[in-house]
Amino acid sequence: MKKVTIARGDGIGPEIMDAVLRILNAAGAAIEWEEIAIGEQVYLSGNTSGITPEAWESIRKNKVFLKAPITTPQGGGYKSLNVTMRKALGLFANIRPCVSYYPFIATRHPDMDVVIIRENEEDLYAGIEHQQTDEVVQCLKLISRPGSEKIIRYAFEYARLYKRKKVSCFVKDNIMKHTDGLFHEVFREVAAEYPDIATDSWIIDIGAARLADTPEIFDVIVTSNLYGDVISDIGAQISGSVGLAGSANIGQACAMFEAIHGSAPDISGKNIANPSGLLKAAVMMLNHIGQSEVAEKVENAWACAIEEGLHTADIFREGTSKVLLGTREFADAVVERLGQQPKKLETQHFARDFTFRIPGYERKVPAKKVLRGVDIFVDWKGKDPSELAMRLQTLNNGIELTMITNRGVKVWPNGFEETFCTDHWRCRFERPAAQAAEEVDKRFIPQILEKAVVEDIDVIKLENLYEFDGKRGYSLGQGQ
Ligand code: NAD
């Protein structure tokens, strides 16, 4: 008997959780449920994280968590519990299958069957933001080799296990050559270890457009956090209804399963919510804990009810639907069909031998790292960058100012008058050309900072410029 933590959540949460538990228990899931309280009541009791230490303990002990949607109160500095949980529990992979159930549920994409696998911990969601000047704020985009390798390997393992044919990588490395470039490079490396699976790569903009237009050309998509967040909602929406999709958040130790929709306060307590999203999440959970036969039984019974036109209000359409059911009655219909096989809908993706292991990351031999210079970012209210250059240039200590940019565009030397400048400037210091082959002496850096203090120029940030095994580890300025 496996112990699983559950939370009934807020709004429609308790209704859909009751429906799901009834179906799972009737299907013979060998699970003992341990209930915790999270969400609105916990927030409003003064706990800004929305979760108590006892609830954490239950999740960390049982390692598997089925969660109904919760309401995050507006204002008041309440932290998103989902983001907190993903990060605190190391749930690095977000898996969201987007499948259409044509002709039983209306969709423009009858053949859609895409699984979106989104990195869940880093990228712009690392939550590292700073205001640096009056005019400029910054959010750090962090892409790591271990983070990329884990999620990409997960996508290939998933594809292999669920007999998927292709993994597509979505990036924007034509612009972000280092961050998205690393993700893409790791994708190519890992792909080479899975010759049985086809691959392709898409720039996120055209990839998202094709996903919205012709989703049937995709199979598994792997991408970083922000892009994944956006395209997984597009995917769920165009497959038929956001009320039908479940998602899994998987880590090395723990896993959390939930519907993708929210707590729907507008329909709460009316027995009209569709429990399918949470049920799909529960099916993923059953597979995850090795109870694939129960998963298949539940999925088949659900598909039978959908095929027979037994629909909740959100998917009910004259013509395709037959009987309008409430949440409880829909759950009853699924229970009654346990053991039956659907006639048309395919209920694929069931892995009987649950051998899914994510290999741990092995650190590579460190590259030879050589300091080539430094970027000093300053808050300066002047207008003419040559004045800033003059004030910082006079060091003459074996490192020289080679470029000033404003929001990445080169404005000195030889900038354009047309370039709009904010109060946020990057001053790049490098070896003079004649000594370029020599490594920069680190002691030059504090000397530049001291010079800035003397000149009353506010240094807001500093980035060292490194070469790794002879490869430049920083971008050039636009126009450099
Ligand atoms: P929502 O997903 O709750 O609702 C959007 C619309 O879809 C509503 O009209 C709702 O009635 C409908 N809907 C959603 N689920 C349905 C279902 N199962 N059956 C039938 N109709 C359904 O999004 P929202 O209104 O933007 O957010 C409401 C609350 O949910 C907010 O407090 C938000 O913070 C929270 N939320 C929680 C989660 C989560 O816990 N994972 C996710 C998203 C939003």
Protein residue closest via CA to atom 44 of ligand 1: 262
State in Å: Cα 235 to ligand 1 middle: 17
CA distance 149 to 147: 6
Are 161 and 95 in contact by the 8 Å Cβ rule? The answer is: no
Ligand 1 atom with least separation from CA of 266: 11
Ligand 1 atom with least separation from CA of 314: 20
Q: Which residues pair with 448 in a beta bridge?
A: none
Hunting for tokens 């430094």 — which residue is that?
A: 374
Hunting for tokens 């292709």 — which residue is that?
A: 166
Ligand 1 atom with least separation from CA of 39: 40
State in Å: Cα 373 to ligand 1 middle: 50
Protein residue closest via CA to atom 5 of ligand 1: 264
Protein residue closest via CA to atom 1 of ligand 1: 262
In this prediction, residue 478 carries a pLDDT of 75
Ligand 1: residue of 51, 263, 325 to mutate (most ligand atoms within 8 A of CB) is 263
Protein residue closest via CA to atom 41 of ligand 1: 69
Ligand 1 atom with least separation from CA of 261: 2
Ligand 1: residue of 16, 38, 261, 274 to mutate (most ligand atoms within 8 A of CB) is 261
State in Å: Cα 51 to ligand 1 middle: 20
Ligand 1 pocket, Cβ-based, cut-off 6 angstroms: 12, 69-72, 82, 243, 258, 261-267, 273-274, 277, 314
Q: In the 8-state DSSP scheme, what is residue 77? A: T
State in Å: Cα 364 to ligand 1 middle: 43
Hunting for tokens 């209920």 — which residue is that?
A: 347
State in Å: Cα 11 to ligand 1 middle: 9
Say which CATH class 1-81+250-346 falls into.
alpha beta
Q: Provide CATH code, domain 369-472.
A: 3.30.70.1570
In this prediction, residue 133 carries a pLDDT of 97
Using the Cα atoms of residue 289, residue 290, residue 294 and residue 296 in order, give the sign of their dihedral: positive
State in Å: Cα 241 to ligand 1 middle: 12
Give the domain ranges of the chain.
1-81+250-346, 369-472
State in Å: Cα 214 to ligand 1 middle: 27
**Residue whose C-alpha is closest to residue 228's, from 109, 98, 101, 356:** 98
pTM: 0.91
Ligand 1 atom with least separation from CA of 313: 20
Strand order across the 409-412 sheet: 409-412, 400-406, 424-430, 369-379, 458-468, 471-472
323-324 and 310-311: which strand pairing?
A: parallel
Protein residue closest via CA to atom 38 of ligand 1: 262
Residue 265: how many other CB atoms lie within 10 Å: 12
State in Å: Cα 342 to ligand 1 middle: 29
Protein residue closest via CA to atom 11 of ligand 1: 264
How confident is the prediction along the chain (480 residues), in pLDDT tens digits per residue?
Answer: 899 999 999 999 999 999 999 999 999 999 999 999 999 889 888 888 889 999 999 999 999 999 999 998 887 777 778 888 888 898 999 999 999 998 998 889 999 999 999 999 999 988 889 999 999 999 999 999 999 999 999 999 999 988 899 999 999 999 999 999 999 999 999 999 999 999 999 999 999 999 999 999 999 999 999 999 999 989 988 988 778 889 999 998 899 999 999 999 999 999 999 999 999 999 999 999 989 999 999 999 999 999 999 999 999 998 889 999 999 999 999 999 999 999 988 766 555 554 566 777 889 899 999 999 999 999 999 999 999 999 988 655 678 999 999 999 999 999 898 899 999 999 999 988 778 788 999 988 999 999 999 999 999 999 999 999 999 999 988 777
Angle between helices 292-307 and 13-27 (to 10 degrees): 120
- In Å, what is the CA distance from 334 to each residue of 275, 306, 400, 424? 11, 9, 73, 60
Alpha helices in 63-178 (DSSP H): 81-88, 145-161
State in Å: Cα 250 to ligand 1 middle: 22
CA distance 123 to 180: 10
CA distance 461 to 444: 16
Protein residue closest via CA to atom 32 of ligand 1: 71
What single string gives the DSSP state of each residue in 318-371? BTTB-EE--HHHHHHHHHHTTT---SS-------SS-----PPP-PPPPPPEEE
State in Å: Cα 230 to ligand 1 middle: 16
Token pair listed for 136: 């400029």
State in Å: Cα 150 to ligand 1 middle: 30
Q: Which residues pair with 85 in a beta bridge?
A: none
State in Å: Cα 269 to ligand 1 middle: 14
Q: Is the peptide bond before 359 cis (omega within 30 degrees of 0)?
A: no
Protein residue closest via CA to atom 30 of ligand 1: 262
In this prediction, residue 319 carries a pLDDT of 86
In this prediction, residue 143 carries a pLDDT of 97
State in Å: Cα 263 to ligand 1 middle: 4
Q: In the 8-state DSSP scheme, what is residue 78? A: P
Ligand 1 atom with least separation from CA of 9: 40
What single string gives the DSSP state of each residue in 223-237? E-HHHHHHHHHHHHH
Protein residue closest via CA to atom 20 of ligand 1: 273
Q: 36 CB contacts (<8 Å, ≥6 apart)?
A: 5, 6, 7, 52, 54, 55, 58, 59
Ligand 1 atom with least separation from CA of 74: 32
State in Å: Cα 13 to ligand 1 middle: 10
CA distance 450 to 443: 11
Phi then psi for residue 304, to 5 deg, are -60, -45
3-state class (DSSP) for residue 255? strand
